[in-house]
Structure 1
Amino acid sequence: MSNTTENNKRIAKNTLLLYFRMLFTMAVSLYTSRVVLNTLGVEDFGIYNVVGGVVAMFGFLNSAMSSSTQRYITFELGKNNFDQLKKVFSTSVYIHAFISIVILILAETIGLWFLYNKMTIPMERMDAALWVYQGAIASTIVLIMSVPYNATIIAHEKMSAFAYISVLEVILKLLIVYLLLIGDFDKLKLYAALMFGIQVIIRLIYGRYCKKNFPETKLQQTKDWKQFKEMLEFAGWNLWGNCAAIAFTQGVNILLNLFFGPAVNAARGVAVQVQNAVNQFSLNFQTALNPQITKSYATGDYAYMHKLIFRSSKFTFFLLLFLSLPIQLETETILTIWLKNVPEHTVNFLRLILCVTLIDATANPLMISAAATGKVKLYQSVIGGILLAILPISYVALKLGGNPESVFIVHLSVCAIAFITRLFIIRPMIQLNLSNYFKEVILRCFAVTFVSLFLPTGAIYLTDDSLVGFVIVCLACMFSVSIAAYFLGFEKDEKQFINKKILSVINKIKR
C-alpha cells in the first residue's frame, strides 16, 4: 500500500475522530452557553468575556511559541530524527516555563493597572471581576505548560486522545452548569474558579497520556543553544503575527468596552461562541491534515504538499459554507431559539464574524505551509502588519461616531486584503502555482457560493416566519451547498472517493 494511501486513510480516520469530539462538545457548549448567559446575566457575562480578554492579550507570547513548537516537533518527526525530537521537546518545555513567568509578571502589574483604571466595570462587580482575572491568569499558565504535550499528540496524529479527553472536559463543564444553578455563591466568582479547576484536571491527563505513549516527552536537561535560538527566532517572527491576532480579537473587544460598555461585550461574546462552534468543523479537518503538510515539506514532496493545500482550503470553505449559510439567513431566529434573551447587536456581529471566519479558515493552509518552511520572517512581518491595522482603523471608526458593527466591517475588509497578500508571499516559498490555486480553489469557491444562494433565497420569499419556514430554509441551504459543491467544487477523483464512501455506507446499512 502506498504512503499516500496510508496518509489519506490516517487523515480520514483522524478527521472522523475529531468530528465526533466536535459534535459532542458543540452540542453541550450551545446548551451551557445559554444557561451561563441566563444565570450570570448580560452584564456579568460581558465582564467575564472582557476581563478574560485582558489576560488573553498577554497570551500573544505563548501563541507565538506554540506555532514554533508545533512546527519543529512535527518536522523532526517527519524526518524520523528521534534524538533531535527529544531535544526539541525539552527545549520547548523550558521556553514555555519562561513564558509563563513573563506573562505572570505582566498580568499582575500592567494588566491589574489596566483592569482597575481603564476598564468599564461597575464598582459593585469589581471584586468578582478580580476573581475572573486571577482565574484567567492561572488558567493561561496551565494552558501554556500544556502546549508541548498537545503539540506532540498532534504531530503523532493521535487524534483519539483529543476526542476522548474532550468528552471528559465537556462533561465537567456540564457539571459546572449544574453547580451554577444550585450554588449559593456569587455566580461569576464560582464560574471563574470552576473553569480554572477544569483546566488543571485536563492538563494533568494530557501530561500523563504523553509520558505513557511518547518517550520523547520525558524531560531532559539540554544545552543545545543553537536549537534554543532557532526556535526562539521562529517564534519571534510569529510573535509579530500574534500581536496582530490579539489586537483584532481582544484589543477590539476592549475597544468595544471602552466605547459602549459590557452589554456590547456580551453581544460579541455570544457571536464569538457561535463562530467558534462553526469554526470547529474546519479546525478538526485541518488539525488532522496539517501535520501531513509539514511532513511532506520535510521530505521534499512538493506535489503532494500542494494537493493537500488545495484540498484543505477548498474543503474547508465548502464545509463552513454548508454550516454558516443557514445561520446567515436565519440568524435572528436561531439566536432567539437558542438564547431567548439575545443581546443587542448580536445578529449583525454574528453575520459579519462568520464572513471573517470563511476567509481566515480558507487561508489557514497557507499559514501552515509558511510555517513548515521555517522561514517566516517576510510572511509574518507583512501579514502581521496588515492585520495589526485592524485595531487603529477600528479606533478611528469608533472615534468618528461609528456604531459597534463598524469594527467588524473593518476586520472583514482587512482580512480580505491579507488573504490576497498571503498568496503572493507563499508562492516562491513553496513553489506554489498561483494560477492553479486560483482555478482549483478561488474560482470553485465563488461558483459554489453563487449557485448555493438561489434555492434558499427562493425559500425565504415563499415561506413565512414560522418554525416550518425556518426548517425549510435551513434544509434548502444545506441541500444547495451540497449539490453545488459536488458538481462545481470537486474534481473527478474527489467525486469518485465520495461516491465510494457513500456506497460503502449504504452497503453496511443493507447488511
Structure 2
Amino acid sequence: MSNTTRIAKNTIFLYFRQILIMLVSLYTVRVVLNVLGAEDYGIYNVVAGVVTMFSFLSGAMASASQRYFSFDLGKGDTEHLKITFSLTLTIYLIVAVIVFFLAETAGLWFVLNKLSIPLERVSAARWIYQFSIISFVFTILTGPFMADIIAHEDMNIYAYVSIIEVLLKLGVAFSVKFFSVDKLILYGFLMLVVTVINTSIYRAICKKKYPECKYNFCWDKEYVKEMFGFTGWNLFGSCVGVFKYQLVNILLNQFFNPIVNAARGIAFQVNSAVNSFSQNFSSALKPQIIKSWAAENKDESISYVLRGCKFTFFLMWIFTLPLVLEMNTVLSVWLKNPPEYAVLFTRLALIDCLIESVSYPIMTLAQATGKVKVYQSVVGGILLLNLPFSWICLSLGMPAYSVFVVAIIICILALITRIIIVKYISGFSIKLFLKKVILRCFIVTVFSSVSSILLYRILPVSILFTVIKVIIDVLLVGAFIFVIGFEKSERNSVLSFIKTKLKKVNPLCK
C-alpha cells in the first residue's frame, strides 16, 4: 500500500468515525445539560478542568512517544522500538505519580479555596474532583498504547475504540436520570468507569497486536536524557495549552459564575467536535511526515506538510462556515435553552481553532527535526500571553467574550512565528507556503463566504430551511475547495480515487 493510499484510507476511517462521534457527543451534552442543569454542568467543567491543567505533563509525553515510535518504525529498527516503548511506559508511570501528588495537594487546595462554587455544591465538587484525578491517571497510562497505534497507522483500531468510548458516555448520560442519588456525583463516577474500560481495551489490543508492547523494565540513561531533552520543550508547549484553555476557564470563573463556564464548556464541545475532523487528518499524516524525515526524504516530508496545512484548513472550513452562520438555530435545536453567551462563545472558539488548524502539520515537522528548543520557547512564549492579556481585559471590565478575541489575535501571531522558525530548522519554504496554502485558502474562504451569506439572506428562517441551507452550503464549500483549493494533480487524484471505488462497486464503470 502506497503512503498516499494509506493516508487516504486512514483519513476516511477517522472521518466517518468522527461524524458518528460528533453526533453522539453533541447529543450527549444535550442530555447531560438537561439532567444536571446549567449550574452543575458548569461546576463539572471547571472542577474537572483543574485536573486537566496537569495534562501538560501527559501531552508532552504523547508528542514525544509518537515521534520516537514513528522514528524507529521509519528506520525499521524493531528491537530499538521495544526499548523505546518500555522506557516510555516507565516515564508515563512516573508522570502519573507526579500528577496524582500535585492534584491531591495544590490542585485540591485551589478547588476548595479559589473556585466560585455554591456552598451547597462544595461536597459534590470534592467527589467530582477525586473521580477526575483517578480518571486522568488512567488516561495518562493509555498514552503509550495510543501513540503506538498511531505510529503503526492502524487508525481503524483507534476509530473503533473511540466509538465504543463515546457510546458508553452516551449510556452514562441516559442512565444518570434514573437514579435518585446526587446526579453530579453519579455522573462523575460513571465517567471514571468509562475511562477505566477505555484504558483496558487499548492495553489488551496493543499487547496482542504489537510485539513491542510487552513491558520490560529497562533504563538507558543516555536515551532517557535525549527523550527528556525533547520532552522538556514539548512540556513547555503543552503547559502553554493549559494556560490558554483551562486557566482562562478558571479566570472566567473568578470574574463571573458557573453559568459562564457552562457556556464556554458548550463552545469547546462544539469546537472539539469540528476540530477533530482536521486533527484526524493530521493524525493520519503525522507518522508519514516523521518517517519521511527519519529516512532523510526531507523534500517529501515538507511536501506532506504543505498539503497537510491546506487540507486541515479545508476540513475545518467545510463545517465551520455553516455552523458560524447558523449557530443560533443549531444551539437552540440542540440544547433547547442554551446558556447566555453560548452562541457567541462557540462562534469565536471555532474561528480560533480554524486559524490554529493550519499549524498542525507545521508542529509535526518541528518535532520530526528534533530541534524543538527554539520553536517551543518562542511560540510557547507568545501563546503564554493569553492568560495575562485575558486578565487585563477582564480587570478593565470588558465582557467575557474578550478572552476569545485575545486568543484569536495571539493565534495569528503564533502561526506567523511558527512558519518563520520552521523555515530555519528544516528548510521549509515560506514562499511555497504562501502560494500553495495561504493564497488558495484565502480565495476559497472569500468566495465561499460571499456565496453562503447571500444564500442565508435569500432563504427564510426556519428549521427546515436551516437544514437545506447547511446542505447547500457544505456542497458549495466543497465545490470551491475542489475547483479553486486543489491543484490539478490533487483534483486528478481525487477523481482517480472515486473511479477506483466505483469500479469496485460496479465493474462496468469507466
TM-score, reference length from structure 2: 0.97
Tell me how far apart the structure 2 counterparts of residues 271 and 317 of structure 1 sit (CA, whole Å). 19
The corresponding residue for 1:195 is 191
1:46-90 deviations in Å (ceiling 9; x for gaps): 001000110111221121122111111111111111222111111
The corresponding residue for 1:497 is 493
Query: 264, 269, 277: which one pairs with 1:273?
Result: 269
Deviation at 1:174, TM superposition (A): 2.3
User: Does residue 280 of structure 2 align to residue 296 of structure 1?
Assistant: no
Tell me how far apart the structure 2 counterparts of residues 80 and 507 of structure 1 sit (CA, whole Å). 35
The corresponding residue for 1:117 is 113
Matches within 5 A, 1:29-48: 29-48=25-44
> In 1, are the aligned partners of 2:115 and 2:254 still within 8 Å (CA)?
yes
The corresponding residue for 2:180 is 184
Q: For residue 215 of structure 2, give the secondary structure of its aligned residue in structure 1.
A: coil
Deviation at 1:509, TM superposition (A): 5.7
Matches within 5 A, 1:267-416: 267-416=263-412
> In 2, are the aligned partners of 1:43 and 1:266 still within 8 Å (CA)?
yes
Query: 136, 155, 158: which one pairs with 2:154?
Result: 158
Tell me how far apart the structure 2 counterparts of residues 210 and 122 of structure 1 sit (CA, whole Å). 44
> In 2, are the aligned partners of 1:248 and 1:387 still within 8 Å (CA)?
yes
Tell me how far apart the structure 1 counterparts of residues 374 and 155 of structure 2 sit (CA, whole Å). 32
The corresponding residue for 1:429 is 425
Q: For residue 344 of structure 1, give the secondary structure of its aligned residue in structure 2.
A: coil
User: Does residue 236 of structure 2 align to residue 240 of structure 1?
Assistant: yes
Tell me how far apart the structure 2 counterparts of residues 285 and 135 of structure 1 sit (CA, whole Å). 32
Which has the larger displacement, 208-217 or 496-505?
496-505
> In 1, are the aligned partners of 2:313 and 2:441 still within 8 Å (CA)?
yes
The corresponding residue for 1:264 is 260
Q: For residue 453 of structure 1, give the secondary structure of its aligned residue in structure 2.
A: helix
1:358-399 deviations in Å (ceiling 9; x for gaps): 111111100011011111000000000000000000000000
Tell me how far apart the structure 1 counterparts of residues 320 and 6 of structure 2 sit (CA, whole Å). 27
The corresponding residue for 1:460 is 456
Deviation at 1:476, TM superposition (A): 3.5
The corresponding residue for 1:22 is 18
Q: For residue 53 of structure 2, give the secondary structure of its aligned residue in structure 1.
A: helix
Cα separation, partners in 2 of 1:503 and 1:424, compared to 1, 3 Å: same
> In 2, are the aligned partners of 1:65 and 1:232 still within 8 Å (CA)?
no
> In 1, are the aligned partners of 2:302 and 2:365 still within 8 Å (CA)?
no
Tell me how far apart the structure 2 counterparts of residues 505 and 466 of structure 1 sit (CA, whole Å). 37
Amino acid at match of 1:166: S
Amino acid at match of 1:229: K
> In 1, are the aligned partners of 2:349 and 2:404 still within 8 Å (CA)?
yes
> In 2, are the aligned partners of 1:68 and 1:231 still within 8 Å (CA)?
yes
Deviation at 1:242, TM superposition (A): 1.3
Deviation at 1:38, TM superposition (A): 0.7
Q: For residue 182 of structure 1, give the secondary structure of its aligned residue in structure 2.
A: coil
Amino acid at match of 1:451: F
The corresponding residue for 2:72 is 76
Deviation at 1:507, TM superposition (A): 4.8
Cα separation, partners in 2 of 1:466 and 1:178, compared to 1, 3 Å: closer
Amino acid at match of 1:334: V
Deviation at 1:506, TM superposition (A): 4.6
Tell me how far apart the structure 2 counterparts of residues 274 and 235 of structure 1 sit (CA, whole Å). 30
Which has the larger displacement, 194-203 or 493-502?
493-502
> In 1, are the aligned partners of 2:444 and 2:481 still within 8 Å (CA)?
yes
Gaps of 5+ in 2: none
Query: 214, 219, 222: which one pairs with 2:218?
Result: 222
> In 2, are the aligned partners of 1:48 and 1:188 still within 8 Å (CA)?
yes
Deviation at 1:39, TM superposition (A): 0.5
> In 2, are the aligned partners of 1:21 and 1:162 still within 8 Å (CA)?
no
Which has the larger displacement, 306-315 or 408-417?
306-315
The corresponding residue for 2:166 is 170
Tell me how far apart the structure 2 counterparts of residues 477 and 328 of structure 1 sit (CA, whole Å). 12
User: Does residue 74 of structure 2 align to residue 100 of structure 1?
Assistant: no
> In 2, are the aligned partners of 1:349 and 1:408 still within 8 Å (CA)?
yes
> In 1, are the aligned partners of 2:14 and 2:281 still within 8 Å (CA)?
yes
> In 2, are the aligned partners of 1:73 and 1:155 still within 8 Å (CA)?
yes
> In 1, are the aligned partners of 2:90 and 2:217 still within 8 Å (CA)?
no
> In 2, are the aligned partners of 1:455 and 1:476 still within 8 Å (CA)?
no
TM-score, reference length from structure 1: 0.97
Deviation at 1:433, TM superposition (A): 1.1
Tell me how far apart the structure 1 counterparts of residues 401 and 167 of structure 2 sit (CA, whole Å). 35
Deviation at 1:510, TM superposition (A): 5.4
Gaps of 5+ in 1: none
Query: 129, 138, 160: which one pairs with 1:142?
Result: 138
Percent sequence identity over matched residues? 46
Q: For residue 216 of structure 1, give the secondary structure of its aligned residue in structure 2.
A: coil
The corresponding residue for 1:53 is 49
Amino acid at match of 2:437: V
> In 1, are the aligned partners of 2:86 and 2:218 still within 8 Å (CA)?
yes
1:129-157 deviations in Å (ceiling 9; x for gaps): 11111111001100111111111111011
Q: For residue 401 of structure 1, give the secondary structure of its aligned residue in structure 2.
A: coil
Query: 476, 480, 497: which one pairs with 1:480?
Result: 476
Tell me how far apart the structure 1 counterparts of residues 137 and 396 of structure 2 sit (CA, whole Å). 38
Q: For residue 221 of structure 1, give the secondary structure of its aligned residue in structure 2.
A: coil
Amino acid at match of 2:303: K
Cα separation, partners in 2 of 1:479 and 1:20, compared to 1, 3 Å: closer
RMSD of equivalent CA atoms: 1.3
Tell me how far apart the structure 2 counterparts of residues 290 and 220 of structure 1 sit (CA, whole Å). 27
